[in-house]
Structure 1
């Protein structure tokens, strides 16, 4: 992942701060006392993702073998990092401060490198959590990227991917972002040619959160749900031509999710009635999306959804180097 850094060092000026008066041969002389530098702060944007295609090929060693095409989108959480004695996390949603992947990522990185550095972390949450957009996983990857910079660890992307794979199947993808083929337990990432600017309309139904939802959904899968990669392969052929055909989308959980989330079928029906060319599921749901090539059509669809009383979001595709890590004084 390309990290775009822009920061300037604080300069001390002779006019800054109080002066220390020193007696020299009975005379006073002034020596400036520079102001202390502000602690360096890193700000990183953690993008959400959608699964253009999500297949499960089978199960091995108690893990499901996924075969999926991930796409990063410009719906982002924002994380801010400063050096500290301990690892601490503050978030406007207190429920997210406990058992959070951000803290787990920081602690794992410290354990792997055998260091005792700390960080004060602030999480500004904009990605709806627990709906299949990968917000928690993206926050974890952003933490690895930011602390690698803040702590001066100089780990490569491949090393960060290896660490990320210990945090969850979606986390490694977010080290790269963009458009990627994701295989195995999520640890095998193959960057793909970026999509041309593509628009997505998201509908996040206000349904009750399900604890351990992703794990529960995977436990419901059996051999009848396994496929042979034909959906991903068809989509890859299309992507190589620089386009995506919405008719090629597929999600293994669509066979299960409407039983797990009562009422979701009604939201899908209303989404279609508003004019969505096709309604797809991302991750293990319940977030629904459709794909449009023109921003104006996306905005028209959102307006129709609003008239139906459905909240929706317009987002667009991101390239891998659209992820931004900024260093500020």
Structure 2
């Protein structure tokens, strides 16, 4: 049996530069994978079969199934696979779980079917699946631009503890579209926040948590009522700064000291909220 992990991600920066002629938004963002991972298991089979620890995700529209079919078509292969997804990353939480699962499916099937495709060969298939999928072929720390299809790997971020809180806010249909629609043009930037962090990483400098930036912070309260209460809970736990993860509603804070991070984690667990404590990860080998 072949096993491939699918890590979640946080956005250390997320800027919108404007709207593109094709209707998408031009973004500039710093992505970072974290050790909160789904796991995909692959076995040979005569047809494509998919199962998941969450039965509600076992449907033809799941990105793992879509990725499998697209790779099958692109490679001109008829063999199938038995794929099982062990789900740990919260769904629709702003952590890129579905996109990461899709990238892991491409990586796993590439090995299982003996395609021997390079990352460049998998790239067009990944791009067709969604904006975040190409990044997850790399993982680690990377600059992501365009509509998400321009990925530049960066030196690894100095290890950080990441404390995440997933508020009990139900899944919101069209969440990301609502966030983009709520953005005013005055919220657009020129990429300066991301450029500053990238330059520091390339120079080997220490990471400064105060440089974390997410444009969706400006409109998150409109889309996620009650989010501020959970920010306050994290502050009570000892978080100096609390950030929105991607398109939310997950919140996170960064800590360099393990003991302090564990103390905050146990406090929040005691409050009965869904919380995770993980480390940042390096790129895939």
TM-score bin (small chain): over 0.9
User: For the residues of structure 1 that align with 2:162 and 2:176, how far apart are their CA atoms?
Assistant: 23
- Give SS of 2:284's match: helix
User: For the residues of structure 1 that align with 2:5 and 2:121, how far apart are their CA atoms?
Assistant: 21
In the superposition, relative to structure 1, how do residues 145 and 256 fare at CA in structure 2: closer, same or farther (>3 Å)? Answer: same
User: For the residues of structure 1 that align with 2:162 and 2:107, how far apart are their CA atoms?
Assistant: 27
**More helix by percentage:** 2
- Give SS of 1:262's match: coil
Q: Indicate whether 1:54 and 2:14 are aligned.
A: yes
- Describe the superposition over 1:81-118 as per-residue Cα deviations: whole angstroms up to 9, x where unpaired: 11212212101212111210000000111111222121
Residue of structure 1 aligned with 2:91, choices 124, 129, 134: 129
Asked whether the 8 Å contact 2:175–2:223 carries over to 1, the reply is no
Asked whether the 8 Å contact 2:38–2:87 carries over to 1, the reply is yes
Instruction: Give the C-alpha shift of residue 257 in structure 1.
Output: 1.3
Highest CA radius of gyration, 1 or 2? 1
Instruction: Give the C-alpha shift of residue 225 in structure 1.
Output: 2.4
Residue of structure 2 aligned with 1:162, choices 118, 124, 128: 124
User: For the residues of structure 1 that align with 2:7 and 2:191, how far apart are their CA atoms?
Assistant: 26
Residue of structure 2 aligned with 1:319, choices 279, 282, 285: 282
Between 1:175-184 and 1:209-218, the stretch displaced more is 209-218
Instruction: Give the C-alpha shift of residue 224 in structure 1.
Output: 2.5
- Describe the superposition over 1:202-235 as per-residue Cα deviations: whole angstroms up to 9, x where unpaired: 1111111112322332333342221100110121
Q: Indicate whether 1:292 and 2:255 are aligned.
A: yes
User: For the residues of structure 1 that align with 2:5 and 2:157, how far apart are their CA atoms?
Assistant: 20
The residue aligned with 1:21 is none
Instruction: Give the C-alpha shift of residue 304 in structure 1.
Output: 2.5
How many residue pairs were aligned?
A: 282
CA RMSD, 1 decimal: 1.4
The residue aligned with 1:79 is 40
User: For the residues of structure 2 that align with 1:278 and 1:216, how far apart are their CA atoms?
Assistant: 25
- Give SS of 1:129's match: coil
User: For the residues of structure 2 that align with 1:171 and 1:293, how far apart are their CA atoms?
Assistant: 28
In the superposition, relative to structure 1, how do residues 92 and 289 fare at CA in structure 2: closer, same or farther (>3 Å)? Answer: same
TM-score (normalizing by structure 2):
0.95
Instruction: Give the C-alpha shift of residue 259 in structure 1.
Output: 1.1
Instruction: Give the C-alpha shift of residue 260 in structure 1.
Output: 0.7
In the superposition, relative to structure 1, how do residues 220 and 116 fare at CA in structure 2: closer, same or farther (>3 Å)? Answer: farther
TM-score (normalizing by structure 1):
0.83
- Describe the superposition over 1:126-181 as per-residue Cα deviations: whole angstroms up to 9, x where unpaired: 00010011110000000000111111111111121221111111100100000000
Instruction: Give the C-alpha shift of residue 66 in structure 1.
Output: 1.1
Structure 1, unmatched stretches of 5+, are 1-40, 323-329
User: For the residues of structure 2 that align with 1:298 and 1:116, how far apart are their CA atoms?
Assistant: 48
User: For the residues of structure 2 that align with 1:307 and 1:274, how far apart are their CA atoms?
Assistant: 10
- Give SS of 1:45's match: strand
The residue aligned with 1:20 is none
Asked whether the 8 Å contact 1:102–1:143 carries over to 2, the reply is yes
User: For the residues of structure 2 that align with 1:96 and 1:242, how far apart are their CA atoms?
Assistant: 42
The residue aligned with 1:282 is 245
